[in-house]
A and B are shown apart, each in its own frame.
Chain A
Amino acid sequence: MQAAVSPLLPPAYREPVLGDLQERFRERGARARWLGYVVDVVTTVPHVLRSQMRRVVTRGSAVPGDLRSRAEKLQTLVWIRNAVILFSALIVIGVFLLNARGVWHFNESVSLAMTIGWVGAAWRQYALRGRSTVVPTSLSWQELRAFHRRELTRQMDLGCCEFVYWSVPAVLLILYALAVAVPGFRVRAGVMLLGALAMQNCAVAWAHRKDRSRYQRELDRLDQEVEQA
């Protein structure tokens, strides 16, 4: 249950909120434990998300000076980015399911190929490799700095390789379907689809480039702080 709830919570809240939920779970009688836990989750998670969103909006991009706050802020932004991307993956799946009703046509094959590509890449990239982590408590300044640096580097290394890898089977499937399954194969349609995939990869690469420069500034700031210290 906790494993299911944990990714729903922003990293800054994850540890104290899960701890509070567990404490309340233990305090209840055996009969009401699970139901109480579910009720607690349902009434707590939306409030926490709302509060986190409000904080992000009202504080804007200003990063607090304290190192721990900066590390938590980074994890929160990573968590929000991942939530948005994974939500978009759900929309892509929904669109595919809407298209897939009725008789299977060529369009459905293309939709399936692109859905697999997008969902697979988004899952590998954001849910596994670039997932957010909780900033550990009780770290010395040096350890916290090392943790923050490691996390910044991890996010910088994401790139758009996953999207390129996952696009390849989609491209092959589309070309195969065009060449074999469609009578009167038209090159123009294939080029348009490949162009759409290329644009998607370019958009991901641009977003990563923007993030990379932000992470690099934070790394430079960390180095400056060490020099000053």
Chain B
Amino acid sequence: MPRSDSLGQFEQLVLTSVVTLGDNAYGVTIHKKVHELASSKAVTLGAIYVALDRLEDKGFVSSWLSEPTAARGGRAKRCYRLEVPGERALKESLATARRMAVSVTPIWGDPDKEFG
């Protein structure tokens, strides 16, 4: 079966969060960032794990376990990093979104004024 390289909206949000968080991208911080980006939607931590697993299976992100910390009860974090295919897919999605925005703005006006 061919592997899908296109990104859903939620996957775009998760990948964007991984990019912006850099080395500090793990479950809790990614959840906070996605919650901030998707201001109108309730996002659960479980949904973040599912999306990260799917992105990892597609080869868009890779993960590793950090050193355990006392703040987490001596447990390690699973940190994520964006990989080259993920970067390419996210850039494609951004370019598509930008083209869509350019096309519809003359008709609907600036969507940022309504939802920003």
Q: What's the Cα separation between A20 and B65 when bound, in Å?
A: 13
The listed residue (A24, A26, A58, A138) touching B45 by CB distance below 8 A is: A24
List residues of chain B with CB within 8 A of the CB of A137: 65-68, 76
Cα-based distance from A55 to B57 in the complex (angstroms): 8
A47: Cβ under 8 A from any B Cβ: yes
Interface size for chain B: under 10, 10 to 19, 20 to 34, or 35 or more residues?
20 to 34
Contact between A16 and B45, CB atoms less than 8 A apart: no
Whether A48 pairs with B27 at a CB distance below 8 angstroms is no
In the complex, what residues of A have CB within 8 A of residue B71's CB?
A: 23, 26
**CB contact under 8 A between A48 and B49, given known A23-B28, A58-B57, A138-B67:** yes
Q: Is B72 a contact of A22 with CB atoms below 8 Å? A: yes
Residue A43 lies at the interface, judged by CB distance under 8 Å to chain B: yes
Provide the bound-state CA to CA distance between A48 and B78, in Å: 14
- Complex Cα distance, B25 from A16, in Å, reads 13
Q: Shortest beta-carbon distance, A2 to chain B, in Å?
A: 8
A147: chain B residues at CB < 8 Å are: none
Chain B residues near A40: list those with CB within 8 A.
45
Chain B, residues 22-45, CB within 8 Å of chain A (1/0): the string is: 000011100000000000000011
0/1 per residue, A1-45, Cβ < 8 Å to B? 010000000000101111111111010000000000000100111
Verify if A51 is at the interface (C-beta below 8 Å from B): yes
**A44 touching B76 by the CB < 8 A rule?**
no
A46 at the interface (CB under 8 A from B): yes
A residues in contact (CB < 8 Å) with B: 2, 13, 15-24, 26, 40, 43-48, 50-51, 54-55, 58, 137-138
- The 8 lowest CB-CB distance pairs between A and B, nearest first, are A47-B46, A19-B75, A19-B72, A16-B78, A44-B46, A20-B27, A43-B44, A137-B65
Can you list 20 pairs linking A and B with CB atoms under 8 Å apart? A15-B78, A16-B78, A19-B72, A20-B26, A20-B45, A22-B72, A23-B28, A23-B72, A24-B28, A24-B45, A40-B45, A43-B44, A44-B49, A47-B50, A48-B50, A50-B50, A51-B49, A137-B65, A137-B66, A137-B67
